[in-house]
Amino acid sequence: MSNKNAMINRYAWYETIAIYAGIAVFMIFVLAPFVEGFLVSLKPLSRLFSSPYKFWPENGSFDAYFTMWDSVPGFGRYVFNSIFISTVATVIVLLLVVPAAYAFARFRFTGRGPLLGAFLAVNMFSGAVLIIPLFRLMRSMGILNTYAAMIVPGVAFLIPTAIWLLRTYMLRIPKELEEAAYADGASRIYTFRRVILPLAMPGITVVAITTFIGAYAQQFIYALTFNSKTEYMPLPIGLFAYFGRQEVIWNELMAASFVGIAPAMIVIFFLQRYLVNGLTAGAVK
């Protein structure tokens, strides 16, 4: 960052304050629920409804993180289900989208424009709007109450965004590289494997991350409607188990939420290291 002190990056002190104030408002808004949730997870259940309400936990502990496994014995399974569903959905999406995005980026075929438009239009419906028809479809296919019931609609609604994302990335790969490979005798498949795929890797990683997060987030609605078997339940449904008949075990619920998010965060943390910028440097010019 040699241009950190470039003239264009200089601000007066009041501008700096205004910028940080703006960021602060936004960050507080986004992060406050997490902070509150984390603090709740540290409090003993009996102190939660103490009056006056104390923001900072007194004699807080991580007990809830241990007792939660006993209150809901199947919790580990729910976390696994969530990751399993998201991972399978991501793999299927990538297998379908990478060749599709390449075709949309490079080949001219009848209906390319309308097809892309249709994908964008599908994006405007969330799966929730189509839940009844999807249910009927799923029932006639006989895959209700299976993993497939949560994976298939998930994949279907994640594909359009993924295609648009990856197509845009692939358009940036210089066409001359393919022409050069063609002139050197390489087939389409060979060029795709040896030239296009390695260069599209950062784009594919971005698509993998967004798809994984998308799959993780959208499971709730599908799991709620298309699955009634406890052993296939993903995390969001599993959290309902902490809503007891008498009371809600809030501190364990919060602890469970954080434990449930953790695997996804770890995956994202590791994947983002592959978001290497400027991999195409030196290709042309």
For other proteins, the binding residues in 193-232 under the rule CB under 8 A are 194-195, 198-199
CB of 174 to other proteins, least distance (A): 7
CB burial readout 205-227, b (16+ within 10 A) else e: bbbbbbbbbbbbebbbbbbbbbb
CA angle 202, 205, 207 (to 5 degrees): 115
CB of 162 to other proteins, least distance (A): 22
Among 1, 3, 185, 277, binds other proteins (CB under 8 A): 185
Place of tokens 């440097």: 281
Beta strands in 103-250 (DSSP E): none
Contact 215, 224 (CB under 8 A): no
CB of 202 to other proteins, least distance (A): 11
Tell me whether residue 52 or residue 278 sits nearer to other proteins (CB atom). Answer: 278
For other proteins, the binding residues in 164-183 under the rule CB under 8 A are 174, 176-177, 179-183
Q: Residue 55's CB: how many other CB atoms inside 10 A?
A: 7
CB of 215 to other proteins, least distance (A): 29
Tell me whether residue 110 or residue 140 sits nearer to other proteins (CB atom). Answer: 110
CB of 177 to other proteins, least distance (A): 5
Closest CA to 115 of 159, 172, 152: 159
Tell me whether residue 48 or residue 195 sits nearer to other proteins (CB atom). Answer: 195
Among 20, 62, 125, 190, binds other proteins (CB under 8 A): 190
CB burial readout 130-156, b (16+ within 10 A) else e: eeeebbeebeeeebbeebbbbbbbbbb
What is the DSSP secondary-structure string of 3-58? Answer: GGG-GGG---HHHHHHHHHHHHHHHHHHHHHHHHHHHHHHS-GGGTT-SSPPSSPT
Among 1, 7, 132, 284, binds other proteins (CB under 8 A): 284
For other proteins, the binding residues in 116-175 under the rule CB under 8 A are 174
Give, to the nearest 10 degrees, the angle between helix 197-226 and helix 250-271.
Answer: 160
Binding range to other proteins, per CB under 8 A, among 54-62, 247-255, 264-272, 274-282: 274-282
Cα 218 from chain centroid? Answer: 9
Q: Does 283 bind other proteins (CB under 8 A)?
A: yes
For other proteins, the binding residues in 77-106 under the rule CB under 8 A are none
Give the count of residues interacting with other proteins (CB under 8 A).
Answer: 24
CB of 139 to other proteins, least distance (A): 47
CB of 99 to other proteins, least distance (A): 19
Tell me whether residue 33 or residue 282 sits nearer to other proteins (CB atom). Answer: 282
Cβ-Cβ contacts under 8 Å for 75 (sequence gap 6 or more): 68, 69, 238, 241, 256, 259
User: What residues line the site for other proteins (CB under 8 A)?
Assistant: 174, 176-177, 179-186, 190, 194-195, 198-199, 278-285
